[in-house]
Amino acid sequence: MANKRIDQLPINSNMLKGTDSIPIWDVVNNKTERVELDTLASFIASATTSPIINEINNNLILEGTTTATTSQAIYGVNIITAATNSDLATRLPNPTTGRQTVFINNSSMSILVFPSVVGGEINGVVDGVASIPNDGNAYTFYCTQNPLPGAWSWSPPSVGQIQVPTIEVTHVNGVNTSAYGVGVSGAQLINPPGVNWFDNVNVTGSVTLAFTPSQDYWATSNLTPERTLTVMKVYSNFLDTDAAIPSQVPQVQRYVAYGNGSGMNNYTASGIGLYGGQTVQAGPSNSPSQIGDVGTLYKIQQQNLLQISPVETDSIGVGPFTNYYYTFIIFIPSTAISKTYKFDIFLEHT
């Protein structure tokens, strides 16, 4: 039978044994060999149930800040060495169930990881996004569904959270309202004079700090070592019907002050507008409306999409020279109906 093709050989109608053999071509040694069925079955089982990570991308180049990023990770280990405010995003590899990819972020800021394509899931959220902190740890994503758009699961790092006391702002229709403060009772400025925000709330000094108007208008934390702000959440009792024009809704701006060794520096940090946010779909309905009622507006914002220079504006806790302090200005447009508006602000950090 040496001169017969395989399809011309007789069919084996007997029960196969694990010691039965089939021919294979050894591409390394350039020769034909045989392999027993038991050996082949073990190899196939190992290859399909235990994917091996054997590729390393030592410098994954990030691009953009949204799902439109052209950067894409590999199956293997992806090491990030550089990220900027304008280039901090990448996408997962095209989905193959059972495979995995790893991210290690050694850059100066947290980065964003999106699904392979629009419609993909991360931890059950369609078009979800994962924020990878710049802590040098390895974070593994497992593909749980393919083909495209695919689904992925991963274990995010544990986060801490600071809740700011509820801020209440009384507003009269026809006049813009700007409220300064951090929710401390009796410590709130409404439409104060001054061209700049720091004309009204600021911190000065080197060793002994001076707070304007007082320390009650600023908040801080004694977390040490310092943490990095990752997510800012704002919940309100503002209803869609409170706005005469859909885009004219409250804006929340966070401001930061911290020592740099020679004094204090004030910075405009990250803002968050409820326009473009979300509406609570289910819940209680009170009159007047309360925070979290059905129909009220809220927004959850990844802070690294809003990060400004210097990066210390997203620091929380005890810095090398002083604590990091923050305050808020809430702007309510004149077209909003007369009402006492309420805001709960949450700061998530590493």
40-83 pLDDT per residue, tens: 666 665 555 445 556 899 999 999 988 999 999 999 999 999 98
- How far does Cα 203 stand from its chain's mean position? 30
Task: Give the pair of three-digit tokens for residue 164.
Answer: 């700011």
Q: How confident is the model at residue 7 (pLDDT cuts 50, 70, 90)?
A: low
In contact, 291 and 344? CB cutoff 8 Å: yes
| Helix ranges restricted to H, the chain | 37-49
Mean pLDDT for 166-188 is 96
User: What is the C-alpha to C-alpha distance for residues 214 and 182, in angstroms, rounded to an integer?
Assistant: 12
Q: What's the pTM value of the predicted model, to 2 decimals?
A: 0.69
Instruction: Count the residues in the chain.
Output: 350
DSSP letter, residue 219: B
Measured in degrees and rounded to the nearest 5, phi and psi for residue 315 equal -95, 145
Count Cβ neighbours within 10 Å for each residue of 233-242 and write b for 16 or more, e otherwise: bbbbbbbeeb
Give the residue, 122 or 31, on which the prediction is more confident.
Answer: 122
User: In the predicted model, is pLDDT for residue 326 greater than 70?
Assistant: yes
Q: What's the Cα-to-Cα distance from 227 to each of 29, 114, 157, 349, rounded to whole Å?
A: 56, 24, 13, 6
User: What is the C-alpha to C-alpha distance for residues 261 and 46, in angstroms, rounded to an integer?
Assistant: 58
User: What is the C-alpha to C-alpha distance for residues 54 and 158, in angstroms, rounded to an integer?
Assistant: 28
Query: Burial, 194: exposed, middle or buried (Cβ in 10 Å; 0-12, 13-18, 19+)?
Result: exposed
User: In the predicted model, is pLDDT for residue 302 greater than 70?
Assistant: yes
DSSP letter, residue 100: E
Task: Give the pair of three-digit tokens for residue 205.
Answer: 């000094």
At 146 the pLDDT is 87
- How far does Cα 249 stand from its chain's mean position? 24
User: What is the C-alpha to C-alpha distance for residues 174 and 77, in angstroms, rounded to an integer?
Assistant: 57
At 50 the pLDDT is 47
Domain ranges of the chain: 56-154, 160-349
- How far does Cα 255 stand from its chain's mean position? 21
Single-letter residue type at 201: V
Mean pLDDT for 103-111 is 88
Fold of 56-154: Jelly Rolls (2.60.120)
Residue closest to 117 by CA, chosen among 88, 92, 145: 92
∠ CA(145), CA(91), CA(235), 5° rounding?
A: 90
User: In the predicted model, is pLDDT for residue 301 greater than 80?
Assistant: yes
At 224 the pLDDT is 87
DSSP letter, residue 323: B
∠ CA(92), CA(93), CA(96), 5° rounding?
A: 120
